[in-house]
Amino acid sequence: MSTVYDFMVKDRLGNDVSLSEYRGKVLLIVNTATGCGFTPHYDPLEAMYKEFKDQGFEILDFPCNQFANQAPGDADEIHEFCTLKFGTEFPQFAKIDVNGDNASPLFVYLAGEKPFEGFGKGVKNAMLNKFAAMNNKKYGDKTYIGWNFTKFLIDREGKVIDRFEPTMDMEEVKARVAAAL
* Cα three-residue angle 52-160-2, rounded to 5 degrees: 125
Name which of 92, 82, 93 is nearest 40 in CA terms: 82
What average pLDDT does the segment 27-51 reach? Answer: 92
Q: How many domains does the chain have?
A: 1
Q: What is the structure's pLDDT at 16?
A: 97
pLDDT digits (tens, 9 = 90+) for 7-17: 999 999 999 99
| Predicted model pTM | 0.92
Q: What is the structure's pLDDT at 116?
A: 82
- The helix or strand, by DSSP H or E, that contains position 30, with its residue range, turns out to be strand 26-32
Q: Active-site residues: which are they?
A: 36
- The pLDDT confidence band at residue 128, using thresholds 50, 70 and 90, is confident
**Is the pLDDT higher at 74 or at 151?**
151
Burial of 143 (0-12, 13-18, 19+ CB in 10 A): buried
- The pLDDT confidence band at residue 159, using thresholds 50, 70 and 90, is very high
CATH, residue 53: 3.40.30.10
pLDDT of residue 170 exceeding 80:
yes
Distance CA 115, CA 112 (A): 6
pLDDT digits (tens, 9 = 90+) for 81-95: 878 788 899 999 999
Residue 90 belongs to what domain range? Answer: 4-180
